[in-house]
Amino acid sequence: MFFESPIKRRQSRQIMVGNVPVGGDAPISVQSMTNTETTDVDATVAQVTRIQEAGADIVRVSVPSMDAAEAFGEIRKQVTVPLVADIHFDYRIALRVAELGVDCLRINPGNIGREHRIKAVIEKARDLNIPIRIGVNAGSLEKDLQKKYGEPTPDALVESALRHVDILDKLNFQDFKVSVKASDVFMAVAAYRKLATQIEQPLHLGITEAGGLRAGTVKSSVGLGMLLMDGIGDTIRVSLAADPVEEVKVGWDMLKSLKLRNKGINFIACPSCSRQNFDVIKTMNELETRLEDIKTPLDVAVIGCVVNGPGEAKEVDIGLAGGTPKNLIYVDGVPNHKMEQENLVDNLEQLIRKRAKQKAEQEKDLIAKA
């Protein structure tokens, strides 16, 4: 069963990215970023759609040129998920995508040149209710900060972020979020912890350039997990050298493991051993692949033997405890029936889908009665 998280979250100002609230008491949102050529509208729309279907609340798209800005406008027309435009240096691109319906601008005000350019972007964002994301990265710190600190440090990241924040403060613009990313876990964590005490705006978490699917998942889980346990973070992106869909899956698994959000199936499965009465690993791989489309929160335990199987099964919606000659199935923590080894995955899938449908209908009824 899904229990409330014991984590007490940092209180932050809430902003709106399209129809998604970020900060305040809003759920921590999951983001990813496209890696297609933005000027290839069809490919980018297809990828945005896949990322959204995987569970992303917000999708970021790189907009490096005016041609990409025009393409962004076409992409905006064809997708429903809130879009963030990732822009560096050229304020004219920011103005154009604002006109074309962007939901958030990722642009650092201190890097777009003269004061009139900064004011033009801020006033456009104010007029159209578009928030801004300040994004500081250890790999692209200002030259004077590199000279001052000698190398990227948490203090250097925070000082850079506060420079941009100060510009927005002076222009009386408060609808922004901030990230201070580094590929080093300890540096990123220290920077976020320090920044969290100095501003009231929401924080976008990430361990930048974390690596490939396996190593990047581990590094991101360690770093973001430390911050989320502290109650820090209002939106996250897991940065992997992998399909963006995998970033979303990892992000959701991270939040589910900390009981900060709940969506889809939360599997509890044993690592398997010689006591197993069916192939646990094969069964889990097939179930995860087949049931990715289910969005209703559901806890499912797949345990290969009777040592831990009954105990785990009593705490979930659907539980499987391996047995000989038949496996025991639990429904809502109560022994329900036995299941043959033959066609085990097919029968489990059918049972899980039936239970998910029932829970979805129950939730609809509760909402209707409220």
Render pLDDT for 39-48 as a digit per residue (tens, 0 to 9).
Answer: 999 999 999 9
Residues 27, 68, single domain; the answer is yes
Across residues 53-80, what is the average pLDDT? 98
Residue 122: name the closest of 162, 200, 82, 175 by CA.
175
Residues 155, 43, single domain; the answer is yes
Residue with tokens 């297609």: 36
| Residue range of the domain that includes 162 | 15-257
Cis peptide before 131 (omega within 30 of 0): no
Report yes or no on 215 lying in a domain.
yes
Span 290-348, pLDDT tens digits: 999 999 999 999 999 989 999 999 999 999 999 888 999 999 999 999 999 999 999 99
Does the pLDDT of residue 1 top 50, yes or no? no
Cβ-contact 206, 236 below 8 angstroms: yes
Query: Would you state the pLDDT for residue 367?
Result: 80
Residues 204, 79, single domain; the answer is yes
Residues 21, 140, single domain; the answer is yes
Report yes or no on 9 lying in a domain.
no
Residues 233, 299, single domain; the answer is no
CA 53 to CA 38: how far, in whole Å? 19
Domain count, the chain: 2
Cβ-contact 102, 77 below 8 angstroms: no
Residues 302, 204, single domain; the answer is no
Residues 29, 77, single domain; the answer is yes
Residues 349, 291, single domain; the answer is yes
Question: What's 133's domain CATH number?
Answer: 3.20.20.20
Does the pLDDT of residue 155 top 70, yes or no? yes
Q: Which residues contact 75 (CB under 8 A, 6 or more apart)?
A: 38, 41, 44, 45, 48, 61, 83
* Residue after which a domain boundary falls, among 257, 291, 325: 257
Span 167-198, pLDDT tens digits: 999 999 999 999 999 999 999 999 999 999 99
Residues 187, 291, single domain; the answer is no
Span 265-284, pLDDT tens digits: 999 999 989 999 999 999 99
Report yes or no on 323 lying in a domain.
yes
pTM above 0.75, yes or no: yes
Span 6-37, pLDDT tens digits: 999 999 999 999 999 999 999 999 999 999 99
* Residue after which a domain boundary falls, among 237, 257, 277: 257
Residues 205, 161, single domain; the answer is yes
Cβ-contact 329, 300 below 8 angstroms: no
Residues 253, 270, single domain; the answer is no
CA 24 to CA 180: how far, in whole Å? 19
Span 213-235, pLDDT tens digits: 999 999 999 999 999 999 999 99
Residues 235, 346, single domain; the answer is no
Report yes or no on 277 lying in a domain.
yes
What is the overall mean pLDDT for the chain? 95
Across residues 136-146, what is the average pLDDT? 93
Report yes or no on 10 lying in a domain.
no
